[in-house]
Amino acid sequence: MINQSLLQDVIDIRRDIHRHPETGFDLERTAGLVAEHMEALGLKVRTGVGISGVVADLEVRGAQHRIALRADMDALPMDEERDIPFRSIVKGKAHMCGHDAHTAMLIGAARVLCAKKDTLPNHVRFIFQPCEEALPGGAPGMIADGCLDGVTAIYGQHVWPWLDTGKIGICPGPMMAQADSFDITIYGKGGHAAAPHQCVDPIVIGSRLVGALQTLVSREVSPLDSAVLSVTRFHAGSAYNVIPSEAKIAGTVRTYSKNTQTGIKRRLKELTDGLEMGGELKYSDGYPPLINHEVSCQHAREACSDFIAASDLIFPAESAMFGEDFAYYVEKVPGCYLQLGSGNAELDCCYPLHHSKFGLDEACIPVGVRLLAAMAMRPH
């Protein structure tokens, strides 16, 4: 299905995108490259979808269903520490989550499917999405601009360094969590550090609050539910001899259940309001939980069996508490998001997603191309 020439082209595309990362909705170069490749295949191409996304359609005579395949295109606002020949040349931007590979693999899958156009059972829509890495996410805008119109089912994949290259994970039901964030300002009474009795120390109050927050999940969420609350920032003060008048903490809440999310949000507000001199909570809802559809997972499982050994298919795979705006698509149509093994300890490709030394084993690329193509090659 994938000859060496095609594979090398996909690898070259991935490395080119990796070397020239773009973030958010500002994807002029990346989206332009994608549109160029899609147009070269003779596909009907729309650009500027959801601000800067690209949608391309492969029409198949006599087909009754339309299968959508999605890749995200944006990089992260961070620097890369991995020393590779195609390292990012853009300061403060790097593909440390594998979206460069996602985009390149979907281009490769489009080439595979176009070559088999006369034998395909489905129309195919290729969705290249901006801004997965930051709220509000690119998916809502893509959907508003009609990327799911007429779609029967949607599939996507994410490189997964926790699985060895060659393995594929399918997680029926809840796969990724709702990813919310919170900021709390703690008010106190500042003064000289040598006279703490004349102050109301927001650092001490904040320290107690951090401890209390750690019990919200362990003591107030049902053991049968999944939830994470992590405090990730604590800022206060600017001098050795000054007790500040306020402190700020921030963090993230990850949940699968709306009731659990609502309960944690309520308790955060109660704890903040109950501080000695009060406080202020800003709570931001993130992407909804990503819930894979059972029927789509079964379709993916059958498609995977066409080209990988049973021992390389992880079913059911473990869910994760990450956030992913693919969730918006599967709220609208049936779909499945898959885990593409990309880890290889010998190549030092085991760093987690969003790590400054994240890397992937490029041997996962032909597997990913075949995986995406396989989703559209079986009848629905």
Give the catalytic positions in this structure: 74, 132
Beta strands in 195-278 (DSSP E): 227-236, 242-243, 246-255
Query: Which pairs count as long-range contacts for 314-318, CB under 8 Å and 24+ apart, including other chains?
Result: 314/163, 314/167, 314/168, 314/169, 314/170, 314/339, 315/169, 315/170, 315/172, 316/170, 316/171, 316/172, 317/163, 317/169, 317/170, 317/171, 318/169, 318/171
**Residue 227 corresponds to which tokens in the numbers above?**
């939830």
ω into 196 cis (within 30 of 0): no
Three-state SS for 258?
Answer: helix
Beta strands in 188-278 (DSSP E): 191-192, 227-236, 242-243, 246-255
H/E stretch holding 103 = helix 99-115
CB 177 within 8 A of CB 256: yes
Residue 88 phi/psi, 5-degree rounding, is: -55, 135
How is residue 132 annotated by DSSP?
-
Separate counts of helices (H) and strands (E) for the chain: 9, 16
